[in-house]
Structure 1
Amino acid sequence: MTWLRALAVIVAVAGALLLLASGAGVRLGLWTYGTGFALLRYAAYIGIAAAVLALVALFLPQGRARWIAALLAALGVGAATAYLPYSVQQRARSAPRINDITTDTEKPPQFKKPLPYGGPQVAEQQRKAYPDIQPAVLASGPEAAFARALAAAQAMGWDIVDAQPKEGRIEATATTFWFGFKDDVVVRITPLPAGSRIDVRSKSRVGRGDTGTNAQRVRAYLKRLN
């Protein structure tokens, strides 16, 4: 059954390569994000097939000793290849179909070139899904708060597009890890009688949903501020 063991390894490698290609192709402009998601799904199927083939081959005693390391590797690679698309699918199912998240749903921070907000319907979905996303309140004045907000944005790895201390506004572009999607972020600093309030908004440029990416980004940013 040498052919079965070899097949398990080949299928595992093919699945892993397809998984990597799904994101790399979108980043390089070789295909659309729709094709990228399709390749991600196919990679999961191939990963499952590789894991099953490796398990079957591991139970075949004849000549197993020579293949044990390769088959265990094929099993691990196949399982990992299947898990990533599965985790993305689970996040997509649990997240609301919105792609615009903000700490102020009544008066969202606005970009220099205004981007429309979805209104009460989007706000209600966000409140139900992400009730923890709230403005940050700092004890420092607007100038110090602005510097802190800008430093946090830079620490997030965002590309700063515009920073206006007098207006209390910071705009940036965030790039997602796998597909390289470009999302727009704006931070607003508002003076308070005893400190400053910081609001943030993160909006995807493509798609109706975001698999929770914008909410994760806003949470991570607020954590850096506090």
Structure 2
Amino acid sequence: MKTLVSLVSLLAILLVALPGPLYKFGILELGPAFTALRFGVYAGIAALALILIQLIFLRKNISWAAVGVSAILAIVAVGLPMSMMGKAKSVPPIHDISTDLVNPPKFVAIVALRADAPNPVEYAGEETAKQQREAYPELITQKYPQDTEQLFDAAEASINDLGWELVNADKSLGLIEATDTTGWFGFKDDVVVRIRTTGEESYLDIRSKSRVGMSDLGKNAERIHALIDAINSKF
């Protein structure tokens, strides 16, 4: 039983931990990767059930260190995907977030990079805008007393500070484009920053859009918040 518990818990953590890197490096497609995650949860639950059987019926022969390690692996294997599912239920199933929902900033240089992306470069539309207004009402156009050049420099520096890949920085157009790659699965999400002025104030809009997936688990909104906070810290 001890060996079986160890093997099942090890299988569970591998099924959860490996799909991300395997997808990231092009070894596994996204569908099979998510299937592996699901089976990792099943294996983790099975390992926890076997541990419970050990604790009830085979207590005298238990190796507490081995049981502890197996339990940790199984809990992580179950907990990580379940936390992702919980996050998915708490945010709208959208992947295109913008501070301007009437006239979202448009990608320019990034268009070519998204040529093969499942999610098209065009804005997702009014249904997405409606869900965003309900979920993220605070994400609106940002206003600054600084001139556009100062704001542009702060935005570009903030993107570099955040470690995103700078794709395009056109000060004459007030346009900055960048790509952020997530750590575990290596998902690429694209960001465009638009800076304009009325002569008295400078206006900053940010749009963040995932290349794949229906729901972004709130990542694009978090990314916009992070960039706004980084910019604000420079003034």
Regarding TM over 0.5, the answer is yes
Q: Which amino acid aligns with 2:130?
A: E
Residue number in structure 2 paired with 1:58: 55
Matched position secondary structure for 1:186: strand
Q: Which amino acid aligns with 1:134?
A: I
Residue number in structure 2 paired with 1:188: 194
Structure 1, unmatched stretches of 5+, are none
Structure 1 distance, partners of 2:69, 2:141, is 46
Residue number in structure 1 paired with 2:115: none
Does structure 1 residue 112 correspond to structure 2 residue 98?
A: no
The offset of 1:202, in angstroms, is: 0.6
Structure 1 distance, partners of 2:175, 2:138, is 23
Residue number in structure 1 paired with 2:9: 12
1:51 and 1:76 in contact (8 A); partners too:
no
1:218 to 212, 218, 224: 224
Structure 1 distance, partners of 2:145, 2:80, is 41
Q: Which amino acid aligns with 1:20?
A: A
The offset of 1:45, in angstroms, is: 1.2
Residue number in structure 1 paired with 2:204: 198
| Identity, % of aligned positions | 39
Structure 2 distance, partners of 1:51, 1:221, is 41
Matched position secondary structure for 2:177: strand
Structure 1: 4+ residue segments shifted above 3 A: 192-195
Q: Which amino acid aligns with 1:41?
A: R
Structure 2, unmatched stretches of 5+, are 112-120
1:9 and 1:54 in contact (8 A); partners too:
no
Structure 2 distance, partners of 1:132, 1:56, is 50
The offset of 1:211, in angstroms, is: 2.0
Matched position secondary structure for 2:27: coil
Structure 2 distance, partners of 1:118, 1:224, is 26
- How much is the aligned-residue C-alpha RMSD, in angstroms? 1.6
Q: Which amino acid aligns with 2:170?
A: Q
Structure 1 distance, partners of 2:130, 2:150, is 33
The offset of 1:84, in angstroms, is: 0.9
The offset of 1:143, in angstroms, is: 0.8
The offset of 1:192, in angstroms, is: 4.0
Residue number in structure 1 paired with 2:82: 86
1:97 to 93, 98, 103: 93
Structural mapping, 1:146-157, within 5 Å: 146-157=152-163
Structure 1 distance, partners of 2:183, 2:200, is 38
1:41 to 38, 41, 53: 38
